[in-house]
Amino acid sequence: MSEPVRLSKRMSELGLCSRREADEWIERGWVRVDGAVVSVLGSKVLPHQKVTVERQASAEQARRVTILVNKPVGYVSGQAEDGYQPAVALVKASTRWTGDRSPNRFQPSQLRSLVPAGRLDIDSVGLLVLTQDGRIAKQLIGEDSTVDKEYLVRVQHLRPGRLPDNSLKLLNHGLSLDGKRLLPAKVRWQNDDQLCFVLREGKKRQIRRMCELVGLKVLGLKRVRIGGVKLGDLPPGQWRYLREDEKF
């Protein structure tokens, strides 16, 4: 027999919303199981039961925005720390990119519950996703995410001569961090001092630590793509909305 699971978890598995959103909707009475409203947090359902949401939930979800920021050095991805400002502080009417083609109008309410879907170190730059949509957050940083991220990484070889071919192979597959084998990556030379990394995971300071293991020092790191969405011409310190025709 199939075991019952928490309703919020089941809603997340079905791609309806994030668990946090599910709890909000359950409390508001916007969730039905086999046609009956369920408004008690922690309620459980069986996998074969039909879960639906009211139109109010779908309408609220449609109003939630996803914002792309070209994060400069010196900003943290999440909450403010050690005196450094969070990247969300860059999101205001005056810093919206003039090339943004989205019909959305900026409103301060869009800053509520706007969270990073994937991090960039304080000394790294490039594409950072801030979203109010739990489905996108799950797609980008969930345990089963298959969305790849592309980085341009300027490096200095700390040993005599060029980086050996065998070390480049190790960067592609064969390294471990924190006692756990890393997933295969795609790493190639972009030019004489810059590597291109494509990863499907995002351990803390992963690229910098990978480079250290093969005798490379990272001088600069820039994320240029997340799945099907590119940084493009978005200037540093500015932002734009994710367009409806763009998919990660």
pLDDT in tens, 183-211: 999 999 999 999 999 999 888 899 999 99
Tens of pLDDT, residue by residue, the chain (248 residues): 578 999 999 998 888 887 888 998 999 999 999 999 999 999 999 999 999 999 988 777 777 899 999 999 999 998 877 788 999 999 999 999 999 999 999 988 889 889 899 899 999 999 999 999 888 888 898 777 889 999 999 999 988 888 999 999 999 999 999 999 999 999 999 999 999 999 998 888 999 999 999 999 999 999 999 999 999 999 999 999 999 899 99
Name the residues annotated as catalytic.
121
CATH number for the domain spanning 190: value is 3.30.2350.10
Q: Is 247 contained in some domain?
A: no
Give burial (CB, 10 Å; 0-12/13-18/19+) of 18: buried
* Domain match, 201 and 92 both: no
Identify the pLDDT of residue 1. 52
Identify the pLDDT of residue 81. 77
User: For 55-75, b where at least 16 C-beta lie within 10 A, e where not — what string?
Assistant: eebeebbeebbbbbbbbeeeb
Separation between Cα atoms, residue 17 and residue 20, nearest integer Å: 8
* Domain match, 129 and 233 both: yes
| Radius of gyration for the chain, computed over Cα atoms and rounded to the nearest angstrom | 21
Domain that holds residue 126: 64-144+229-241
pLDDT digits (tens, 9 = 90+) for 24-67: 899 999 999 999 999 999 999 999 999 999 998 877 777 789 99
Whole-prediction pTM value? 0.80
Phi-psi region of 102 (alpha: psi -120 to 50; beta: other; left: phi over 0): beta
* Domain match, 73 and 36 both: no
Identify the pLDDT of residue 159. 86
* Domain match, 159 and 192 both: yes
Identify the pLDDT of residue 44. 94
Identify the pLDDT of residue 174. 92
Percent of the chain predicted with pLDDT > 90: 72
* Domain match, 182 and 82 both: no
* Domain match, 13 and 27 both: yes
Number of structural domains (the chain) is: 3
